[in-house]
Chains A and B, each alone.
Chain A
Amino acid sequence: GAVVSQHPSWVICKSGTSVKIECRSLDFQATTMFWYRQFPKQSLMLMATSNEGSKATYEQGVEKDKFLINHASLTLSTLTVTSAHPEDSSFYICSASSLTSGREAYYEQYFGPGTRLTVT
């Protein structure tokens, strides 16, 4: 259970074009999804928190007009990189948050496999 998929797994696009990345929770509903960016040999940097039915919350320094996030349903969030440039090339990872069961329930994040974006 708790599987998160991302599509595509890798994409190459030309500078100036836009690219959409999908994040889906396959067997659970997620009111909150997160989008991370990871540069080579570096840690994950949180870009934004996506809440179903409302606007995403962006981290400081992340351009909301460049990285458009839509969380249209409880199982799907999309990240669109608009007017992509080579510096946007990176590994993008999403996660979906779900409340665990049990006495000490908490929100656990389940991670997708990532999307490698290369902008030429």
Chain B
Amino acid sequence: AQSVTQLGSHVSVSEGALVLLRCNYSSSVPPYLFWYVQYPNQGLQLLLKYTSAATLVKGINGFEAEFKKSETSFHLTKPSAHMSDAAEYFCAVREGYNKLIFGAGTRLAVHP
């Protein structure tokens, strides 16, 4: 069965600093991996996805993630944090042909 582990339930950065949110996966098949963002009382918005093409994936709002098979990781980064990036971030792995297994989430706080 597939699973994802997000290291760090809370991450706090200064505005303008690097954002690094960690995600490690476990999968018995080549994985499809996703990062979603959730703002308070809203649904999920897809930031980016890895579907076995390029290992460095660029998403919306300046985020990117790199798939590293040797490390079973898919960490999310952004060079410079903005106040509007404060939200909950979920890493997910596909199970079967259309199910998603979510990590526990990481709450990103951005302070001035």
Contact = CB atoms under 8 A, between A and B. Distances in A.
A112 to B, nearest CB: 5
Nearest to A31: B98
A49 B102 contact: no
A93 interface: yes
Contacts of B49: 108
Contacts of B53: 104
Interface stretch (A13-21, A40-48, A67-75): A40-48
A35 B100 CA distance: 11
Contacts of B97: 106-107
A107 B36 CA distance: 16
Nearest to A46: B99
Given A43-B104, A97-B98, A106 B43 contact: no
Contacts of B98: 32, 97, 107, 109
Interface residues of B, number: 23
Nearest to B49: A108
B61 interface: no
B99 A113 contact: no
Contact of A42 (B36, B41, B51, B105): B105
Contact of A106 (B36, B45, B51, B105): B51
Contacts of A108: 46, 49
Contacts of B102: 43-44
A114 B100 contact: no
Interface of A: 4, 6, 32, 34, 41-44, 46, 49, 91, 93, 95, 97, 104, 106-109, 111-114, 116
